[in-house]
Homo-oligomer: A and B are copies of this chain.
Amino acid sequence: MINWTNLDELKSFKKLEKLKSQVAPLKEMLGGEEGAARVAKYSIPMATGFRYNYAAKQVNDRVLKVLQELADEAQLVDKYAALYNGEMINTGEKRLVLHHMTRGLLGDRVIADGEDKRAFYLEQQNRIIQFSKKVHSGAIAGENGPFKNVVQIGIGGSDLGPRAIYLALENYARQKGMLRMKAFFISNVDPDDAYSVLSGIDLSETLFILVSKSGTTLETLTNETLVRNMLENEKLDPAKHMIAVTSKTSPIANSKDYLDSFYIDDYIGGRYSSTSAVGGAVLSLAFGGFLFDRFLQGAAAQDSQARERDIRKNPPLLDALIGIWERNVLGYATTAVLPYSQGLSRFPAHLQQADMESNGKSVNRFGEPVKYKTGPVLFGEPGTNGQHSFYQLLHQGTDIVPLQFIGFSNNQGTLDYEVKGSTSRAKLCANLAAQIVAFALGKDDDNPNKRFDGGRPSSLIYGDKFTPEALGSLLSHFENKIMFQGFAWNLNSFDQEGVQLGKVLATRVLGGECTGALEAYSKLLLK
């Protein structure tokens, strides 16, 4: 039987708090020759060949033991099973949470709304594959020839994840001759976003994807109208240039205004929808359904490993627990995701949504205020760029920011040369290794301005090569880490009431029904 308990009511959490001052500094644990042994020991294989290394985290075997107790007492893996087996985990909206099912079946079949959900998601995936084949063959084409561009119109979860994944795989696909169409993304209601994208492409060879689960997302419908008008201005028929990704019950489902519609449902939250049709349509059109399926398989493999009860064999679970230790015991307020890969340049922005929108909550899953810290602020930029930007504060600032590094041994593209005796890839990796150690061990110096305290903890996810499977595994790692943390904090990670108040007030402003400060600010901005 599952018990939903607040973090601070867990016996194991109280034990954990007592360990705060009982961990040696990182300089000791990771320094000297013993440091190498720790690096070898604190390492877990992930699915698809990656490894998760936590040697630079401020943990020891005692802390890990109590984290295991916390995982067990909080029943984290059982709660995961309840989720993928179709229990109503999204208490705020009274919905199931089934994003894992878009890429695999981890447990029971789930029937909801009169249909087998795994079959439904597979059906959409297959319909997308068939549609993409027709577009790639030219059977479905623009007025002047085949569609060469695909533009996704969507915001938030309908934008950030798919965009990050497209950017992550574009070079890989190009190098393998699998870049079938170039993808673009329009998201902001600021018309300068659409203007920027549309001014650079030939509309007659462009296919647009309208992504809105509800079919009512203001920004997206506004941008759709903008695009339809532009198509009509060029004597192009919008209905022949657009597809929809939406729910079956939305106003835009199965409409003659679109070439076709592909479906998602209420059990897939926007920030968890990259592996559904929300990511599937644009990524299959851009790269082919086969590459997208490889990405799904990588995610499914990592979802599977996330069921492991032994935290030392379950990277997303361990990563989640260490995050709780850092947030609630060590007291760190923020965290940074630092991928040493330019292809992952927008991955931190996607994780920023996934993490902060899921766990940026002050009440638990039953609507009761909690007395402990929950989701931290998350930010990040790729390396090595961040080293030349904000790492100064990370090294020598007055707050410690736990870091989450991601690295690859090999390039995606073939372009690389030896310069001053090493390839660019080697320089990237050398910098990553150097930063991890610099953060952890620091360096003494007579000049305090040049002194590094060290003691800045980090994790490292690393692998050989950046493939679609690897990316899927990476996405699943973070989705499941966020889920496990949400369970530990006893939150509902799957709603987002925080977006509502702004919507209500914006509607009031547009309707001219506002007073006081709202009216005053409106007058400043709306001329």
Choice from B189, B381, B383 contacting A428 with Cβ under 8 Å:
B189
User: Known pairs A190-B342, A367-B448. 5 more at Cβ < 8 A?
Assistant: A188-B383, A191-B425, A409-B525, A433-B509, A434-B509
Q: How far is the CA of A339 from the CA of B290 in the complex (A)?
A: 39
- Could you tell me the distance in whole angstroms from the C-beta of A12 to the nearest C-beta in chain B? 21
Tell me whether A377 and B374 are in contact in the complex, defined as CB-CB below 8 angstroms, given that A429-B525, A438-B502, A449-B363 are known contacts. no
Most buried by B among A92, A360, A504: A360
* A171 contacts B by Cβ under 8 Å: yes
Q: Which residues of B are found within 8 Å of A32, using beta-carbon distances? A: 516
A466-483 vs B, CB cutoff 8 Å, 1 = contact: the mask equals 000000000000000000
Q: Are A341 and B387 touching (Cβ within 8 A)?
A: no
Q: How far is the CA of A492 from the CA of B225 in the complex (A)?
A: 51
Tell me whether A222 and B171 are in contact in the complex, defined as CB-CB below 8 angstroms, given that A385-B187, A502-B387 are known contacts. no
Q: Are A389 and B352 touching (Cβ within 8 A)?
A: yes
Q: How far is the CA of A496 from the CA of B392 in the complex (A)?
A: 6
Tell me whether A520 and B221 are in contact in the complex, defined as CB-CB below 8 angstroms, given that A188-B385, A462-B525 are known contacts. no
Q: Which residues of B are found within 8 Å of A369, using beta-carbon distances? A: 448
When C-beta atoms are compared, the residue in chain B nearest to A327 turns out to be: B398
- Could you tell me the distance in whole angstroms from the C-beta of A286 to the nearest C-beta in chain B? 14
When C-beta atoms are compared, the residue in chain B nearest to A441 turns out to be: B517
- Could you tell me the distance in whole angstroms from the C-beta of A498 to the nearest C-beta in chain B? 3
Q: How far is the CA of A219 from the CA of B109 in the complex (A)?
A: 51
Choice from B39, B373, B410, B419 contacting A398 with Cβ under 8 Å:
B373
Tell me whether A426 and B510 are in contact in the complex, defined as CB-CB below 8 angstroms, given that A363-B449, A438-B505, A464-B527 are known contacts. yes
Q: Are B449 and A495 touching (Cβ within 8 A)?
A: yes
* A132 contacts B by Cβ under 8 Å: no
Q: List 5 A-B contacts (CB under 8 A).
A: A171-B199, A189-B428, A349-B389, A360-B394, A361-B393
* A356 contacts B by Cβ under 8 Å: yes
Q: Are B519 and A36 touching (Cβ within 8 A)?
A: yes
Q: Are A362 and B174 touching (Cβ within 8 A)?
A: no
* A149 contacts B by Cβ under 8 Å: no
Q: Which residues of B are found within 8 Å of A229, using beta-carbon distances? A: 417
Choice from B194, B343, B421 contacting A510 with Cβ under 8 Å:
B421
Tell me whether A362 and B398 are in contact in the complex, defined as CB-CB below 8 angstroms, given that A229-B417, A448-B369, A449-B495 are known contacts. yes
Q: Are A501 and B438 touching (Cβ within 8 A)?
A: yes
Choice from B423, B424, B430, B492 contacting A509 with Cβ under 8 Å:
B430
